[in-house]
Chain A
Amino acid sequence: MKAFLILEDGQVFEGKSLGATDEVISEIVFNTSMTGYLEILTDPSYAGQSVVMTYPLIGNYGICYDDMEADKPWQSGFIVREFAKRPSNFRSAASIERFLVDNHITGIEGIDTRHLTKLLRERGTMNGMITTDENYKLDEVLPRIKSFQIGHVVLDVSCKKKIEYSGEGYRIAVIDLGCKKNIVSSLRQRGCHVIVYPAEVTAEEIIADKPDGIMLTNGPGDPKSCVKTIAEAKKLFETNIPIFAICLGHQILALANGADTEKMKYGHRGANHPVKDMKTGKVYISTQNHGYMVKEDSLDRDVVEVSFINVNDKTVEGLHYLGKNVQTVQFHPEACAGPLDTGFLFDEFINMMEVSK
């Protein structure tokens, strides 16, 4: 069946439908990872977005359910050049086509993804619609596409109630803003007792559970829409409990401390982003997935120092709050998909708790 991707500027790409055929309107973003499509599909940070994979062959190693980063995919749509019809991997349990059908994700293949990526790069992230309706009318759909907003989707992806994973080590409170599974796994691998809270949990509730450390996770959408979480984060910041925050969590803590965030032209999404550790000058390759960033000139240098920058565009990739055991990063040390190079940040978090004891 034919399918169409209609961009908000009126450009139309024709391809073939794959997976669900539901019409979806979302933000269109591209990801340059060459592997890890399942992790990307199931990363809750993509809620409200359809992802264009720049690598042309997707689904080669099928679906290895163990690699899912959430219980279900959160993307609206999936845009690729070519789906693998016959996957091959010893762990593969299904084809990606099966997975998309099972999870009601609208897919489209046969798209010149490079051409599309260049458009998104040049004009910035756009909204778009994927539809199988050949009789679509541009003047009817364009206003709908243009008016789409992701909104406060954090509440959709966050857990609805507290979940506890027991462990012998430090007690960690994880505020789930759209948490990838491997954040919890990375803590549990280090022996932590992990309690995951819904996004709008109060600071008091967390403090009452006496955590040794607090973790703010990744998540979708504009950080400024997380008004309540920002306020609670400020309160948690004022305690002396060590905090480690990733991605949206990093932005929320910055906002809580008076800094500003802004939407980027087309964001950072991929597994090859170089971040430089300002202390050692060493560069690590990181996984990234963000469309907003902390504005460097909005930082209060008496409160915070930049700990990591992106080597390519020099944007802020990590903050260290002066005199506090608070470390936040824009990139994803939990990887999945992507390089494991910055996993040591979890060890540093453990270390912070060790020191503050």
Chain B
Amino acid sequence: MPKIASIKKVVVIGSGPIVIGQAAEFDYAGTQACRSLKEEGVQVILINSNPATIMTDKDIADHVYIEPLTPEVVKKIIIKEKPDSVLPTLGGQAALNIAMELEEEGFLRAHNVRLLGTSAQTIKKAEDRDEFKKTMEKIHEPIAPSQVVTNVEDGLAFVKTIGYPAVLRPAYTLGGSGGGIADNETEFVKILENGLRLSRVGQVLVERCIAGWKEIEYEVMRDANGTCITVCNMENLDPVGVHTGDSIVVAPSQTLADKEHQMLRSAALNIITELDIRGGCNVQFALNPESFEYCVIEVNPRVSRSSALASKATGYPIAKVSAKIALGYHLDEIINAVTGKTYASFEPALDYVVVKIPRLPFDKFIKANRSLTTQMKATGEVMSICTNFEGALMKALRSLEQHVDSLLYGMEKDSIEETRADLYRVDDRRIFVVAEALRKGITEEEIHDITKIDIWFIDKISNLVKAEKRIQSEPMTRELMAEVKRLEFPDSVIGRLCGKTEAEIKALRDSYGICAAFKIVDTCAAEFEANTPYYYSCFDGENEVEQDNSKKKIMVLGSGPIRIGQGIEFDYCSVHSTWALKKCGYETIIVNNNPETVSTDFDIADRLYFEPLTPEDVEAIVELEKPDGAVVQFGGQTAIKLTEALLKMGVKILGTSAENVDAAEDRELFDEILEKCCIPRPAGKTVYTKEEALAAANALGYPVLVRPSYVLGGQGMQIAIHDEDIVEFMEVINRTVQEHPILVDKYLMGKEVEVDAVCDGEDILIPGIMEHVERAGIHSGDSISVYPAMSLTPKIKRVIEDYTRKLARSLHVIGLINIQFIVYQEDVYVIEVNPRSSRTVPYISKVTGIPIVDLASRVIIGEKIKDLGYASGLQPEADYFAIKMPVFSFEKLRGAEISLGPEMKSTGECLGISRDFHEALYKAFLGSGVDLPKHRKMILTVKDSDKLEAVEIGKRFQALGYQIYSTRRTCRVLNENGVKAEPINKVEKPSPNLLDLILGHEIDLVIDTPAQGIEKSRDGFIIRRHAIETGVTVLTSLDTADALLTSLESANPKDMSLVDITEINRAGSAEQA
């Protein structure tokens, strides 16, 4: 059936800020779907609060609203835009929940808007635990014995019938939020209470624990005519018990015989047929490893992280095909874009192995609980492709960028007992522990008995361990070299194991004629001719990638896995740069390894290499493609780190030169430049050892900022207020080997200001100045950022513009530069300069309407700002406010410290935009999930130095009708200053104390400012964790509290205005509703 003619204008709901469990995959899916809808001549209205996404660009949709993702806002937009349809299955759980709410209350019907794709009834059947269970029973698909409970008593009664351990899964939550496995009654009650509160409908599923079974997923598609296909099946290396988002996943399944595979495949098709799915769907199974017994774990009636992975693993564009199905097309009417000849109604055949490894944030949250459970903790993932499993695993490991380039993790010195004990621990290091256990002679069977990881995987890891030993003990013959390269041992690791340098290994390898070959991902295992420019490398085959030298080629290095400090923004930059360079007539080559992103879609660049971003892997591509230049400034630190290696390979770095990137990071060179430009910076010193650090800190006077150079997102950065802090920080910092020095700076508590600028070597273009709400000391990525800067005098703005120009010129910046300033007592200091793209680039581009990545890319290839249609210098300010609000995922990370500091902790961001500052602020808070007031009760407890400021804050909350509870000392100060506050016992004191109050579920807000430096008492930590885990908003800075008050005091949610980003023009005005 062709497209349904009456579909002309479609609302697509995005997934909002990046949080754990809902990441870049929805930008990929949404962007792909929007492009495919537009291709069909449908008008697209996009709603997403996340400004860092590509889907919110004006060229992706016809009208774009970067507004809070709440049912009310979506309703307002529907009323304004009068669409005929809503497509809710591309924006993850967030979008699905909103669409369901609008459908259930009859809003969509009342406004003649239909839900495209899968129906509301289907969504309910798949998502509502009870309905799902009934549906599965009807079609005889087994599920683990389970019961939906809505209160603790029923839960306890049911768990008695199935016994411990029991699994708990709250309904309608992201990434299994609030779920877990309970081993006893205490744990059970704790998880259940929490889950009931987090579930949108107050339902939690309690089920028999099938931990240890194989976890198998199917990505399936179905059209309105009932044609069903499976795009891909995937097997989790980690058995049931670890969330699939945190598991190492392999595609296709490896240990299933055809009988088991077909049994599960048929079950998956049976399920989507009964659910009447129209589009993509994910079905997860648990399979008993000792029999044909299986059960259905979960069905996601929408595109998901797994579908993004399946798309990249197979080349089958699930989101695109889902969008076409939603428009009415049948699968056999949709062309397979990869072959151009076959249709979407087939099942991809793989002739390679795909491995996905999650990127977990424990390098950022060193105190968080690392164990992996049914609640997802990963912020991102990497994928690799190879012709064998060992090779794919090795490639994926080195793609993680976690200081690991093989299965050697530094556990060699542990005793065998320690290693054996570690095998029982289910955390992100398990794969390394398995390898170590094999090295120490623990048998494959014992490892299997403990971990339940299938012997097949353990044996493959064993092959890698055996290869390590051969490298150490045997002469490096041609045969051995060929074998270990086939297993994807990097030259550096081979060298390390056999006592040679990487260069020596490379030379030897070259003399043997062993080099990487590139193969095509074609969806059909070479059965049909395909010209997809989607490649991966291996060492055991013929190269099939043909060079095309008809055009000049530019290589764009991507940013790897999403992690805290290096998020989706860098993918935005990479993709836009690629598009701009393509438009200028270059052939573009993207290298990246993140399956969730838009950049790794095969039709973004002219050629896509799905490869690890290490010097050796990139060199293999360079040797084949011989690019005319490489762009590193858009891919975050991942790409920047490759600069030196690229230069050695003889690749020209386009844009700012490597020496000048170094000059910005090298303290002495940078100080020279600042001095030459007469730009002040906070006094500081470069140190290597603890002793030097102490001396520097005392010479500068506390407080000081301590941080390693060459890091992301302020990793390892801390404020020290006395010697003890320095001692502790230096220990943490030196836990990983430091090639670069450590910086100790005087800490100035002023106003933080940030600019992104484009420089062509002469002229600069500053789209706007952003001001942070929080005072210096909180990482810029975690601060609320306001554009245009509100509190700066014209004189200071001119100084900032002047400093930016001087710095950009002195550093010979060609392309982007990001500078952070502190305005302290009317003086402007430079605190950081990054001659590359930054986190704020997508945000400032969107709110000013100035496409700075596009401009920077054109400058990089030699164009001049004055020829691009822009005046030099600071651009005129917009007549509306745009506020970037950080969003955190603390509730997913048990034990993580949530108080903000110089080290970045947020996972995503959202935007609030309005002509009115207060409204913009309100929207930004609302978009980040702060929807107050509710119960009008709050806890206010602050450090001594904040007590007087707290009085002001207290007064204003009181005026809003808030009842304030405070700990003894804060309470006394408040009372003495005329603020009514009730004293409440600290955590360690008898009940009723702070914890009882928080667990009573009546607190809207906790404001708790921790003492600077390293907190000595666990009290604040316990309060903050409990508040976060019970879903209470927690603020750890009075500046944030002040901003929240400002937004609440003047909020008028009923009259909220809407801003269509596509109507923002360069002069900076937006049409308002």
- Residues of A that sit less than 8 Å from B by CB: 30, 32-36, 38-39, 54-57, 60-61, 64, 67, 81-82, 84-91, 110, 112-115, 117-118, 121, 270-274, 276, 280-285, 311-312, 335-341
Complex Cα gap A61–B351 (Å): 17
Residues B524-582 near A (CB distance < 8 A): 524-529, 540-542, 544
Complex Cα gap A283–B345 (Å): 7
Residues on B with C-beta less than 8 A from A88 are: 255, 454-456, 459
Q: A56-B351, A88-B455, A311-B346 are in contact. Are A35 and B256 (CB under 8 A)?
A: yes
Q: Name the CB-closest residue of B to A60.
A: B254
Please tell me if the beta carbons of A339 and B257 are within 8 angstroms of each other in the complex: no
Please tell me if the beta carbons of A312 and B541 are within 8 angstroms of each other in the complex: no
Residues on B with C-beta less than 8 A from A89 are: 255-257
Contact of B527 among A87, A270, A285 (CB under 8 A): A270
**Taking chain A's interface residues, is the majority helix, strand, or loop, or is none over half, making it mixed?**
loop
B164 on the A face (CB < 8 A): no
Q: A55-B349, A90-B289 are in contact. Are A117 and B526 (CB under 8 A)?
A: yes
Given A35-B256, A114-B526, A273-B346, 8 more contacts at CB 8 Å?
A: A35-B257, A60-B255, A81-B387, A84-B456, A112-B541, A121-B527, A282-B226, A283-B229
Residues on B with C-beta less than 8 A from A271 are: 347
B1050 on the A face (CB < 8 A): no
Chain A nearest CB, measured from B108 CB (Å): 29
Chain B nearest CB, measured from A30 CB (Å): 8
Please tell me if the beta carbons of B332 and A274 are within 8 angstroms of each other in the complex: yes
Chain B nearest CB, measured from A270 CB (Å): 6
Complex Cα gap A39–B542 (Å): 29
Residues on A with C-beta less than 8 A from B341 are: 312
Contact of A117 among B269, B342, B527 (CB under 8 A): B527
Chain B nearest CB, measured from A61 CB (Å): 4
Please tell me if the beta carbons of B262 and A81 are within 8 angstroms of each other in the complex: no
Please tell me if the beta carbons of B256 and A56 are within 8 angstroms of each other in the complex: no
Most buried by A among B226, B259, B352: B259
B142 on the A face (CB < 8 A): no
B261 on the A face (CB < 8 A): yes
Please tell me if the beta carbons of A90 and B541 are within 8 angstroms of each other in the complex: no
Residues B269-298 near A (CB distance < 8 A): 269, 289-291
Please tell me if the beta carbons of B389 and A57 are within 8 angstroms of each other in the complex: yes
* Complex interface bits, B235-259 against A, C-beta within 8 A gives 1, otherwise 0: 0000000000000000011111111
Q: A32-B527, A60-B254 are in contact. Are A274 and B289 (CB under 8 A)?
A: no
Residues on B with C-beta less than 8 A from A121 are: 526-529
Complex Cα gap A82–B483 (Å): 12
Residues on B with C-beta less than 8 A from A82 are: 387-388
**Taking chain B's interface residues, is the majority helix, strand, or loop, or is none over half, making it mixed?**
loop
Chain A nearest CB, measured from B335 CB (Å): 11
Complex Cα gap A149–B761 (Å): 72
| List of 8 A-B pairs having minimum Cβ-Cβ separation, nearest first | A36-B258, A112-B541, A88-B456, A54-B525, A272-B347, A32-B349, A35-B258, A337-B258
Please tell me if the beta carbons of A39 and B332 are within 8 angstroms of each other in the complex: no
Contact of B269 among A272, A274, A341 (CB under 8 A): A341
Residues on B with C-beta less than 8 A from A338 are: 258, 262
Q: Name the CB-closest residue of A to B460.
A: A86
Chain B nearest CB, measured from A5 CB (Å): 14
Complex Cα gap A115–B518 (Å): 11
Total B residues in contact with A, Cβ cutoff 8 Å: 55
Please tell me if the beta carbons of B528 and A312 are within 8 angstroms of each other in the complex: yes
Chain B nearest CB, measured from A284 CB (Å): 8
Complex Cα gap A346–B541 (Å): 43
Please tell me if the beta carbons of A57 and B254 are within 8 angstroms of each other in the complex: yes
Chain A nearest CB, measured from B506 CB (Å): 23
Residues on B with C-beta less than 8 A from A56 are: 351-353, 387-388
Most buried by A among B257, B330, B331, B341: B257
Q: A86-B456, A335-B262 are in contact. Are A274 and B540 (CB under 8 A)?
A: no
Contact of B542 among A30, A57, A115, A273 (CB under 8 A): A115
Please tell me if the beta carbons of B541 and A114 are within 8 angstroms of each other in the complex: yes
Q: Name the CB-closest residue of B to A40.
A: B258
Residues on B with C-beta less than 8 A from A110 are: 540
Residues B397-431 near A (CB distance < 8 A): none
Chain B nearest CB, measured from A124 CB (Å): 13
Chain A nearest CB, measured from B224 CB (Å): 11
Please tell me if the beta carbons of A280 and B345 are within 8 angstroms of each other in the complex: no
Contact of B349 among A34, A86, A284 (CB under 8 A): A34
* Complex interface bits, B717-754 against A, C-beta within 8 A gives 1, otherwise 0: 00000000000000000000000000000000000000
Residues on B with C-beta less than 8 A from A57 are: 254, 353, 388-389
Complex Cα gap A284–B332 (Å): 10
28 contacts across the A-B interface (CB closer than 8 A)? A32-B351, A35-B253, A35-B257, A35-B258, A56-B353, A56-B388, A57-B388, A64-B259, A89-B256, A89-B257, A91-B257, A112-B540, A112-B542, A114-B544, A115-B542, A117-B525, A272-B346, A272-B347, A272-B348, A273-B346, A276-B332, A282-B227, A283-B331, A284-B227, A285-B346, A338-B258, A338-B262, A339-B347
Complex Cα gap A142–B400 (Å): 50
Residues on B with C-beta less than 8 A from A335 are: 262
Contact of B266 among A33, A274, A340 (CB under 8 A): A340
Chain A nearest CB, measured from B716 CB (Å): 41
Q: A89-B257, A121-B526, A311-B345 are in contact. Are A34 and B544 (CB under 8 A)?
A: no
B1024 on the A face (CB < 8 A): no
Chain B nearest CB, measured from A128 CB (Å): 17
Residues on B with C-beta less than 8 A from A112 are: 540-542
Complex Cα gap A84–B259 (Å): 18
Q: A35-B257, A61-B257, A272-B346 are in contact. Are A54 and B353 (CB under 8 A)?
A: no
